[in-house]
Amino acid sequence: MLAILVPFAIQQAFDPVRKHLNGLRRWGPVALMGGALPLTVSRTSIIGALLVAVIMMPRWKPQRRWTAIGLLIGSVACFKVIIPGLIGTITTLFATFLNNSDSSTQARTVKYSAIVPYLTERPWFGRGFGTFMPDLYFFTDNEYMLALAEMGAVGLVALLTLFITGIHQGGAIRRLARTESDRELGQAFFASAVVALVISATFDALGFAMFAGIFFLTLGAGGSYLGFIRREAEAEAEAAEVRPAALPPVPEPRTDAPARREAASQLVES
């Protein structure tokens, strides 16, 4: 949850509209959420935090990017001093995962073969949403595997469509936005959707009401904001088309002025 929401905290901290607030009010949420992520001692949270950094930092200007890298390195050093053993525990989690020597990882991979019979029974529409309960079967620790068991291939495609929709919304907001603040908000929606897509492979995401609620809330908010941005872009395009036609025609220069003056002088003389 923290990894999904921290991109918006970062965007709000950089938002020029909030510059009148003091640094604690703008950066306090970022520090609390970012600082709590490693304290969970969870591979999922660390993967989510890394995804946020990899997605958001390349879009920043070099000065902001290098400042953020320096703060991250300083934060790791502070955690190493304040909480001895935390960084070592986290690195051990990933080392055992890569070496396939972690007991929790082995327990999860065993479930991949255990769930195959349930998938072959009802491959297209599954057994029904919410019916593959751990009390009756077992924990899948993988939302995509759980979706196959409960909703079949059709349900898995629908779930992936939701995740890809969130990613598309963030990218579309970033492309259509006219201000830097709106572009950064689009990048926050993009990063949040990518984090949700990736970490859903590490636990049964929709089985947790808080994750499901926040995911659909951010999905709806991204779609709504994309609608605002598109209407603004269409209004600007229409104004650009109408504006030249509304201008009064420029009068052509009078080339017969000398002839008129000569005729008038002759009339006066006569």
Q: How far is CA 40 from CA 2, 3, 10, 95, 98, in A?
A: 10, 11, 20, 17, 20
Averaged pLDDT, 37-42 = 86
Band (pLDDT 50/70/90 cuts) for residue 262 is: low
- For 15-36, how does the pLDDT look when each residue is reduced to its tens digit (9 = 90+)? 988 888 888 899 999 999 988 8
Mean pLDDT computed over every residue of the chain = 84
105 pLDDT higher than 70: no
- For 46-81, how does the pLDDT look when each residue is reduced to its tens digit (9 = 90+)? 889 999 999 999 889 999 999 999 988 888 888 888
Q: Which of 90 and 244 is assigned the larger pLDDT? A: 90
**Read out DSSP for 72-136?**
HHHHHHHHHHHSTTHHHHHHHHHHHHHHT--HHHHHHHHHHHHTHHHHHHSTTT-S-TT---TTT
Q: Say what the pTM is.
A: 0.81
Q: What distance in Å separates the CA atoms of residue 165 and residue 245, rounded to the nearest whole number? A: 39
- For 188-217, how does the pLDDT look when each residue is reduced to its tens digit (9 = 90+)? 999 999 999 999 988 888 888 999 999 999
pLDDT for position 220: 95
pLDDT for position 85: 77
Quick one: DSSP state of residue 153?
H
